[in-house]
Chains A and B, each alone.
Chain A
Amino acid sequence: MGKTIIEKILQKHSSSGKLEDFIYAKVDFCFGNDITAPLSVKEFKKAGFDSVFDTKKIGFICDHFVPARDLKAANNVKLLREFSKKFKIKHFYDIDKCGIEHAFLPESGLIKPGELVIGADSHTCTYGALGLASFGVGSTDLAGAMKEGKLWLKVPETIKFVYEGELPAWVGGKDLILHTIGKIGVDGALYTVMEFCGPAIRKLSMDDRFTMCNMAIEAGGKTGIIAPDEKTVSYMKKVNPKTKIRLEKSDPDAAYKEIIKINVTNLKPQVSCPHLPSNVSDVDKLKKVKVDQVVVGSCTNGRLSDLEIAARVVKGKKVKKSLRAIVFPATPNIYRQAYKKKYLEILHEAGFIISPPTCGPCLGGHAGVLDKGEVAIATTNRNFVGRMGHPESFVYLSGPAVAAASAITGRITHPDEILKRR
């Protein structure tokens, strides 16, 4: 019996060398952010640990409530900075050096295909797009890993998703993953790995692949993964020229829990309605939904190609009066590139405000919180009750093209409605 890509990676990292039901796995990199890592530090200290397993394999990436929204947030960043200094942890980053963790870590070149990465943040699954095993865990898991360099894991089953057909205009990674979550539900992949493959995936850019793997958690998945190919290799060459990459993939006779085929040829841009990511609808059915705020950004869709799409849609147009439109380039590096390529200028001219990188409004943290009764369309990843602020506010999730088009009309809008087809 062959093995899936995730089984191969886990076996390589298993302390016993075997692939048992539960393994104590060696981690190549572990990290937390400004809200999860302080809790890890608290547990680490409480346990009386006095050393870390490897000063170069631990990261603190401050991105949630920063630039500090208040004193408590500032204090949490300071706590991590001081802890890093004390234990000589190399990869401490404040917001101006990193931006959003799940966009920053891949572009930093710190993580590579075939590795095992854990992060105290549920969207750690994003990195599966590079063909590595990445799992979101809790703060105590991180505290344990910081000391031991290891993590207990149940070896998961895998569901294989095969995407066939040709991607229509304005349909990207976000639409594929929203459609998939709509199909299988928010617990449709509970405890299992979502392996994305098929000809439509091979054609997706790395940015779109990150978006897809990012939302595996929204279907309950343990992670998402895409076997590396020439696009992965050229991405890695850019971010870390020294990397040697083994093009690991699942064996043809690997065992899957299920194989789900999805034809994308007739797929419309997808929108997820309040209050679950699985409440998915074609964009055309939501034309009458008026919005008060548009958010383009986040670890899901704050990358350069997302900003390019948003800029392309709004170029030469104006954001609807009385609507707030906010764009969050995910990292300083993406910000710089979007600036040079004039995407930010186009968005600004249209009436978007350009925010510094932060998770900010995605989780109702700051920089774009909704009041009672307000409605947002956002390129973020969750639309739970109160996710972006007031418990009686409403969040619709979409890709950047629909969010940008909606900023122009003030209601949920297909980009074709304001633009000629590409």
Chain B
Amino acid sequence: MIIKGKVHKFGDNINTDDIIAAKYLDSQDHIFLGSKAMENIDPGFSKRVQKGEIIVAGKNFGCGSSREHAPWALKGCGISIVIAESFARIFYRNSINVGLVIMVCSQTSKINAGDNLKVDLTQGLIYDQELKKEFKSETFPSFMQEIITSGGLINWIKRKKKK
């Protein structure tokens, strides 16, 4: 599968309060949550994001609380994939469980805001059309790959039950 989109760039330690402020956590509406994404650190972010665009960030993306509202908010505002140098543990598993596409890549600092990326999910390759450079992502362990290809945790559980 190939994802193409423009880059929105963030730094290290983007926490879940940055991604979706706690005051909105009484909502379970992905579209509403999406409209408030990144509000505290980048007002107007959700209005600027076009469907399918990409977040590229530094280390420890999604640190802080366990709120699954964070990956839902990013999905809700149209983000197609988050590529980061590393992810905080709960955000990482939440993304896999709810089907937000994520990728770990040690060279995200080289990618610039506004660059257009072509991401090959199957090969784990990220091509930056402005830099004319290709970066490789870490591959998922096969156990997680199973959940991802099932389309998230709930489908994985259902599929297991059928077996």
Residue positions of A touching B, CB distance < 8 A: 21-22, 35-36, 38-39, 42-43, 46-47, 64-65, 70, 72-73, 76, 120-122, 124, 136-141, 143-144, 147-148, 152, 154, 186-187, 190-191, 217, 220, 222, 276, 363-365, 382, 384-387, 391
Contacts and interface: CB of A to CB of B under 8 A. Distances in A.
Interface residues of B, number: 41
B84 to A, nearest CB: 11
A220 B68 contact: no
Interface stretch (B17-25, B112-120, B125-133): B17-25
B48 to A, nearest CB: 18
B76 to A, nearest CB: 13
Nearest to A22: B143
Nearest to B59: A187
Contacts of A152: 143, 147, 153
Contacts of B97: 138, 140-141, 144
Interface stretch (B1-9, B49-57, B88-96): B88-96
A144 B41 CA distance: 33
Given A120-B66, A140-B154, A365 B23 contact: yes
Contacts of B27: 72
Interface of B: 13, 15, 17-18, 21-23, 25-28, 39-41, 59-60, 63-69, 72, 86, 88-90, 93-94, 97-98, 141, 143-144, 147, 152-154, 157-158
Given A190-B88, A382-B65, 5 more contacts: A39-B28, A46-B154, A47-B158, A143-B153, A364-B23
Given A72-B26, A220-B88, A187 B63 contact: yes
Given A35-B67, A144-B153, A386-B40, A191 B26 contact: no
A86 to B, nearest CB: 18
12 contacts: A21-B143, A138-B68, A138-B98, A139-B68, A141-B93, A144-B153, A152-B147, A186-B63, A187-B59, A190-B60, A220-B60, A220-B63
Contacts of B68: 36, 39, 120, 138-140
A65 B22 CA distance: 10
B85 to A, nearest CB: 10
A136 to B, nearest CB: 5
Contacts of B157: 47, 144, 147-148
Contacts of A391: 39-41
B31 to A, nearest CB: 14
A187 B17 contact: no
B105 to A, nearest CB: 16
A365 B22 contact: yes
A384 B17 contact: yes
A385 B59 contact: no
A283 to B, nearest CB: 24
List 8 A-B pairs, minimum CB-CB distance, nearest first.
A138-B94, A386-B40, A363-B22, A187-B60, A138-B68, A22-B143, A122-B66, A35-B25
Contacts of A190: 60, 86, 88-89
B59 A138 contact: no
Contact of B64 (A137, A364, A382): A382
A121 B153 contact: no
Nearest to A382: B64
B13 A137 contact: no
A220 to B, nearest CB: 6
A22 B65 contact: no
Contacts of A43: 154
A405 B67 CA distance: 33
Contacts of A76: 26
Contact of A73 (B26, B40, B67, B144): B26
A282 B47 CA distance: 42
Contacts of B98: 138, 140
Contacts of A72: 26-27
Contacts of B158: 47
Contacts of A217: 64
Contacts of B64: 122, 217, 382, 384
B28 A38 contact: yes
Contact of B18 (A121, A364, A385): A385
B143 to A, nearest CB: 4
Which of A22, A64, A140, A220 has most B Cβ within 10 Å? Answer: A140
Contacts of A35: 25-26, 67, 69
B90 A386 contact: no
A21 B152 contact: no
Contacts of A148: 157
Contact of B94 (A121, A140, A147, A384): A140
Nearest to A44: B154
